[in-house]
Amino acid sequence: MKYSIRKQFALVFCFLMAGTILLCWFINNTFLERYYLDNKQKAMMSAYDIINKASNEGTIGSDAFDIEFLKICGKNNINIILLDAQTRTIKTSMNEYEILSRQLLDYLFQKEEDFGDRVLADEKNYEMRIRLDQRTQLEYIDMWGGFG
């Protein structure tokens, strides 16, 4: 049975489109999560290093650091809260920071097995995890620790 050239072109075009869609789906599912996690970890580590440096130098309350702090949060799409030893908020990137503050205190004062999340980094001064929010069923990357 012979097909017209128009039907052959249409069939080839459909197969190419389906192949392209399948290839994009495969690449996204295979590589995109690792790429995102790598970039987010680097961004969070960079933010931690900048905040740690400002904390050690005592410039954490300066106007220059406030601008740098806002740039870090905006550029990297991260929310940051800094608490002092008495759990008072020193600096935050959010208007409604109570949930983030409570979450940080939960991390600091609960046992490790209570989290049930995937650990990305566990160092002396900080820890980074992928956490599943029970309310929204979305995964977040959380990092917490001390400075100095």
Task: Print the domain residue range for 65.
Answer: 5-145
pLDDT averaged per 10 residues, the chain (length 148): 84 97 95 91 92 89 90 91 81 82 78 66 86 83 82
Q: List the one residue out of 123, 117, 118 whose CA is nearest residue 145.
A: 123
Kindly report the backbone phi and psi dihedral angles of residue 81, in degrees, each rounded to the nearest multiple of 5, phi listed first: -135, 135
Torsion of CA 53, 56, 61, 67, to 10 degrees: -10
Per-residue tokens: 114: 């209570």
- Threshold 0.85, pTM exceeds: no
Structural domains in the chain (count): 1
pLDDT at position 111, please? 55
pLDDT at position 1, please? 59
Query: What is the rounded CA–CA span in Å between residue 133 and residue 51?
Result: 26
pLDDT at position 72, please? 92
